Amino acid sequence: MVAQFRPKADRPLDEARMNYVYFAKSLKNGKVYVGRTGKTPSDRVKEHNNSSNKWTKQNGPFDLIYYEIYNCEEDAIIRERFYKTGFGKKIKKAITKTLE
């Protein structure tokens, strides 16, 4: 048996909601979309492919090419914002190049 040390108000670790930061590449023009979700990245990309927002409607369809998993939503938000900044865009580009 494994003991879990946590405050009573916390959910057990296996019930904790995972957060994801993902890259979805446009099959139309090669642009890479950076997003964050509490759903599985593959489910979220399916939603994008069904035109869930203006940008993805104009640039889709998309293919999921990369994702990161976070236990903390705040960490996922920070990472998503990072990939949308100057230096983060360079890191995103390096990651996507290694996946080609």
Q: Give CA–CA dist 96/100, Å, rounded.
A: 7
| Inter-residue contact 65 to 32 (CB < 8 Å) | yes
Residue 10: predicted pLDDT: 54
pLDDT tens digits along 30-85: 999 999 999 999 999 999 998 777 888 888 899 999 999 999 999 999 999 999 99
Q: Read off the pLDDT of each residue in 89-97 and give the average, rounded to a whole number.
A: 96
Q: What is the pLDDT of residues 69-83, one digit of tens each?
A: 999 999 999 999 999
pLDDT of residue 17: 81
Residue 53's pLDDT is: 78
Q: How far apart are CA 8 and CA 17, in angstroms?
A: 17
The whole-number pLDDT of residue 55 equals: 83
Burial-class residue 88 by CB neighbours within 10 Å (0-12, 13-18, 19+).
Answer: middle
Please give the radius of gyration of the chain, using alpha carbons only, rounded to the nearest integer: 16
CATH entry, 16-99, from 3.40.1440.10, 3.20.20.210, 1.10.760.10, 2.40.30.10 = 3.40.1440.10
